[in-house]
Structure 1
């Protein structure tokens, strides 16, 4: 029985047994995009513990989608919780190598112009190259005792800040191109500016909701990432990269998760509009 299971894990592809709709629902990416992802990463994934690279990658994508090792085990793949955990630890750094080319700010004149034109109809603010906001990614690690990870909401989390473009792509963290709201608006013009600033900022809030719904491992409903802080940071970046892949190929948006959004630590309970 052991040798049969080992053979199946080495040669069986879970993708072959599922419809296109089921593949996208389960792994959050279309079949063709997963296959394109397998090609560059497979040579770097060790074929160990009787799991071929494709099975390991699919187990990792499924973990990102549901946020629970046990849920992946319960899918009937024949994997143990330890195997899924090892796959996440091994494959995530390999996927991370591709993040720099998939998460990037516009660089050419034409790319910048497209972003400017994409944002302008939202609220009429000119020359916007991206919207900036932060969110808390909860983590859950019983061995984590450093109080620096505990925020004002009394749970451990990683404070994450991103830049989002008009298409809902995560582009990077940036310290320039910032347009800040007026702290104490004293004229109708300043009040209108703050209003348009808020309307533009909702773009990034909506993207946060989509990313966390697409990859439940970074959503608070999953109970928090049960990994070390360093590995949590890697997973956060990789899920951002995979979200960009999904957006670029027009993948269906996942159903929303009803839960209170976790804002960044530097955001007040009743915040003014954030930087754009």
Structure 2
């Protein structure tokens, strides 16, 4: 998969019910009070961005659409050779955000999906290792939402430092090197870019 600069996903962290008018907004589809954590990681399994500011009832695509990460990608990475993120099908396919084909038809599309899934699973593994390392993320954080958000972000920073310092109990994550990108001159929309990548690298 060419030009991948990160994998995007989200997870939920349980929090104490804030009560009052805010209470319902923190209830997710599993009827738990949570904060949505949207994050990206790099090829070494380190967090490269994290957003822990939205209550659990918000839609994942909306959280991404209004994020600083999305704004940065829109302004700086509309050309896929400058880097793309990999996200699952809850996100819209954009020139800088590659999502899998919902109904792959050609062999190239099937292989694209296989490669996409194999790489994007990295962020899911990172979430798992992160939550195992910081048990407060498994249980309910018993603080006000604003403080919960700070705890979550600090845990991500400490996780990165643990990787940097080679602290024990963190499994090393290795991803194969990516192929170099070729030139794309077609229409700059998500589906066009995805079709080009599937054709150029997976046919």
The TM-score, its normalising length taken from structure 1, stands at 0.44
Query: Structure 2 CA distance, aligned partners of 1:142 and 1:207?
Result: 28
4+ long deviations beyond 2 Å: 140-145, 173-177
Partner of residue 233, structure 1: 149
Partner of residue 244, structure 1: 160
Residues 1:131 and 2:4 are matched in the alignment: no
Q: CA deviation at 1:141?
A: 3.5
Query: Structure 2 CA distance, aligned partners of 1:213 and 1:168?
Result: 15
Partner of residue 28, structure 2: 151
The SS at the match of 1:213 is helix
More helix by percentage: 1
Q: CA deviation at 1:142?
A: 6.6
Residues 1:172 and 2:49 are matched in the alignment: yes
The SS at the match of 2:169 is coil
Partner of residue 89, structure 2: none
The SS at the match of 2:5 is coil
Query: Higher Cα Rg: structure 1 or 2?
Result: 1
Query: Structure 2 CA distance, aligned partners of 1:180 and 1:127?
Result: 14
Aligned Cα root-mean-square deviation (Å): 1.7
Give 5+ residue unaligned stretches, structure 2. Answer: 51-68, 74-83, 85-96, 172-203
Residues 1:197 and 2:105 are matched in the alignment: no
Query: Structure 1 CA distance, aligned partners of 2:137 and 2:16?
Result: 11
More strand by percentage: 2
The SS at the match of 1:201 is helix
Q: How many residues align?
A: 128
Partner of residue 17, structure 2: 141
Give 5+ residue unaligned stretches, structure 1. Answer: 1-124, 256-276
Query: Structure 1 CA distance, aligned partners of 2:4 and 2:170?
Result: 28
Offset from partner CA, 1:113-168 (integer Å, 9 cap, x none): xxxxxxxxxxxx11100000000011123746620000110000001110101111
Q: For 2:129, which of 201, 210, 213 is the aligned residue?
A: 210
Partner of residue 189, structure 2: none
The SS at the match of 2:104 is coil
Residues 1:186 and 2:102 are matched in the alignment: no
Query: Structure 2 CA distance, aligned partners of 1:248 and 1:161?
Result: 22
Query: Structure 1 CA distance, aligned partners of 2:105 and 2:28?
Result: 34
The SS at the match of 2:152 is helix
Q: CA deviation at 1:186?
A: 1.0
| Higher RCO structure (Cα 8 Å, ≥6 apart) | 2
Partner of residue 54, structure 1: none
Query: Structure 2 CA distance, aligned partners of 1:253 and 1:208?
Result: 14
Q: CA deviation at 1:183?
A: 2.0
The SS at the match of 1:207 is helix
The SS at the match of 1:129 is strand
Conserved 8 A contact 1:151-1:157: yes
